[in-house]
Amino acid sequence: MRGQTGQNGFTLLEVIIALIIFAALLPTLFSLWESGMNAVKARQAAEHLIKVNSAAATYVGKYQDHLAEQATASGGPELAIADLIDEKCLPESFSERNAFGQTYRIYIRQPRTKELQAIILTSGGRGHDDKDKKFTTSVIPSAASMAGASGGFVPGNDIPGLSQDMLRGAFGGWTISLSSMGIASPGPG
């Protein structure tokens, strides 16, 4: 009597080949995962910025007369998220940091008489070291565009023709010279 001669499993060679193929694809899979995570975080940061923008507009509307007395084209009050929470413009549970770990500073300026502007900048967290080129040239501009017409970003030095002194609207819709507003650039982000 003879035993069955058919193969019922993988040979060691087949397993090794499969592992080599998987190892070769691993960097591509990691890159796709990282891109997906960046897109999710960009969306979260954009939604966070939209809420901060709305809260700042509410604050400016609430204290317009008082702010108009203090603000000029190149100087004026500076707010933090805590100020917006204290004034009930944001809920108490609102995070002071966005999805990238960046904090906000809100500068109130009056470029023209009776016209107040809240300029919202982020600092710290990921992206402000200008070393992650993909982050400063792709992820941050993408998050700015997701925030809509009011979304903007401070470009890194690696985007030709753009300066870290300029706050640039999504898709170039507007630009603001930070130095002309009396605001130090926080760096890219």
Q: Pick 8 or 20 by higher pLDDT.
A: 20
User: Above 60 in pLDDT, residue 128?
Assistant: no
To the question of pTM greater than 0.75 for the whole model, the response is yes
Predicted pLDDT of residue 131 = 64
**Mean confidence (pLDDT) of the chain:** 88
Mean pLDDT value across residues 109-134: 82
Predicted pLDDT of residue 11 = 87
Mean pLDDT value across residues 5-18: 79
160 pLDDT band (50/70/90 cuts)? confident
Distances (CA, A) of 57 to 5, 16, 47, 64, 96: 78, 61, 15, 10, 17
What distance in Å separates the CA atoms of residue 78 and residue 138, rounded to the nearest whole number?
29
What distance in Å separates the CA atoms of residue 56 and residue 140, rounded to the nearest whole number?
21
Mean pLDDT value across residues 142-158: 86
17 pLDDT band (50/70/90 cuts)? very high
Predicted pLDDT of residue 132 = 67
What distance in Å separates the CA atoms of residue 154 and residue 134, rounded to the nearest whole number?
14
Mean pLDDT value across residues 94-110: 94
User: Above 70 in pLDDT, residue 127?
Assistant: no
- Ranges 44-58, 84-98, 138-152: which has the least confidence: 138-152
User: Above 70 in pLDDT, residue 1?
Assistant: no
Which two three-digit tokens encode residue 7? 């193969």
User: Above 90 in pLDDT, residue 171?
Assistant: no
**Length of the chain counted residue by residue:** 189
